[in-house]
Each structure stands twice: as structure tokens, then as C-alpha cells.
């Protein structure tokens, strides 16, 4: 994870640190399967199993008085050496100082590696999960419209997987004579 403890690192946001500590304690009881770690920079890392993902998300999103109501980013990662695909939801609280990374992993060797969709918790997740699906091939169960978003519908494979091979035929230059409208 990040190591912001070095010299020259920005000062740790103490409010955020306190919020993370409180959130960690809360998650420990609310979602027993979640592993929460407060990072040195004050942000909270939450690792959950796919089965606990939605429960953890609801706890975070409904946490008073500072709900994590802003899903800033959904990131996908490929870890071929560990055989895992990881999805990271980066969450902010607009009224409060908290910042949380909600992580879930799934076996990459499955034909359809899937995790639950969080669209019902944060509607913003819809397009971002489509992007992770498109580029990394993680299926989001319960997603209302799981289609490719960036690539063509008929694209084969998921290009940000480390073992992706581009199988397109070689390109040919088109001239006016052989151009087919």
C-alpha cells in the first residue's frame, strides 16, 4: 500500500485518521468478514470477500453522521501471479473527512469471474463497473446493463488482462482504387 510516512510526505489529515479509526471499529462489528486497515496516510483500506461486499457497502454508505456517499472511482487490477482480479471502490464522504478503499478479489481463472454490483448502493457505479467489465472481464452480478462501454460490442477478450493477446489481422493500406464504400 501507500507509504506516505517518508520525509517530505504531506502531513496526515488527523480528522481523516480519526474518522478511519472509528469506521474500522464500526465495520469490525457490523461486517465481521471485513478486514479493515488504517493506512499511514489516514485512509481506510477495507478488504472483503465477494459475499460480504454489498453488506459492507451499505454499512459505509449509511454510516451517520458522515456517510460515504461519493463513489469517486472503480478501479480494476489484474494480479496474474496471484491468480486474482481485484476491484477497488474509492469512496469519499462529502460531509466528512473519511476516504475509504473498498477492495474485493476474485479468482481470475474462472470463465466468468464475478462480484456483486454496487449499482444499487451508488448509482454512479453503473458506468464505472461497465468499464472494469469491458477492460478486465469482471462480471458484476445484478448490474442493470452490463455491456461493453469503451470497446466495440464485438471485441474479443479483455485487453487490460496481462495475458491479453491482440489477434487482429494485419492492417492493409487502402487506396482509392481498392476502396470499398
Name the residues that contact another protein, by CB under 8 A.
Answer: 150-152, 155, 159, 164, 166, 171-177, 179, 181
Nearest approach, Cβ of residue 177 and another protein (Å): 5
Nearest approach, Cβ of residue 111 and another protein (Å): 21
Nearest approach, Cβ of residue 117 and another protein (Å): 25
Taken in order 155, 156, 157, 163, the sign of the CA dihedral is negative
Nearest approach, Cβ of residue 159 and another protein (Å): 4
Q: Identify the helix (H) or strand (E) that includes residue 136.
A: helix 125-136
Decide whether 32 or 181 has the Cβ nearer to another protein. 181
Decide whether 29 or 175 has the Cβ nearer to another protein. 175
| DSSP-assigned letters across all residues of 148-178 | -SSS-TT--S-TTSTT----PPPP----TTT
Decide whether 37 or 150 has the Cβ nearer to another protein. 150
| Rounded distance between C-alpha atoms, residue 148 and residue 135, angstroms | 8
**Bridge pairing between strands 139-141 and 114-116:** parallel
Amino acid at each position: 500500500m501507500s507509504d506516505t510516512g517518508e520525509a517530505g510526505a504531506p502531513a496526515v489529515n488527523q480528522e481523516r485518521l480519526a474518522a478511519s479509526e472509528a469506521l474500522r471499529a464500526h465495520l469490525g462489528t457490523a461486517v465481521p468478514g471485513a478486514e479493515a486497515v488504517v493506512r499511514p496516510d489516514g485512509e481506510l483500506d477495507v478488504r472483503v470477500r465477494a459475499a460480504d461486499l454489498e453488506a459492507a457497502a451499505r454499512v459505509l454508505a449509511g454510516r451517520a453522521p458522515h456517510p460515504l456517499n461519493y463513489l469517486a472511482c472503480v478501479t480494476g487490477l489484474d494480479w496474474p501471479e496471484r491468480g486474482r482480479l481485484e476491484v477497488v471502490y474509492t469512496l469519499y464522504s462529502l460531509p466528512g473527512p473519511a476516504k475509504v478503499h473498498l477492495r474485493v478479489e476474485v479468482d481470475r481463472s474462472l470463465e466468468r469471474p464475478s462480484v456483486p454490483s454496487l449499482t444499487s448502493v451508488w448509482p454512479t457505479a453503473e458506468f464505472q463497473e461497465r468499464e472494469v467489465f469491458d477492460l478486465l472481464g469482471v462480471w458484476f452480478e445484478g448490474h442493470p446493463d452490463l455491456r461493453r462501454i469503451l470497446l466495440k460490442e464485438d471485441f474479443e477478450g479483455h485487453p487490460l488482462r496481462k495475458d491479453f493477446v491482440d489477434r487482429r489481422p494485419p492492417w492493409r493500406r487502402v487506396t482509392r482504387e481498392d476502396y470499398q464504400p
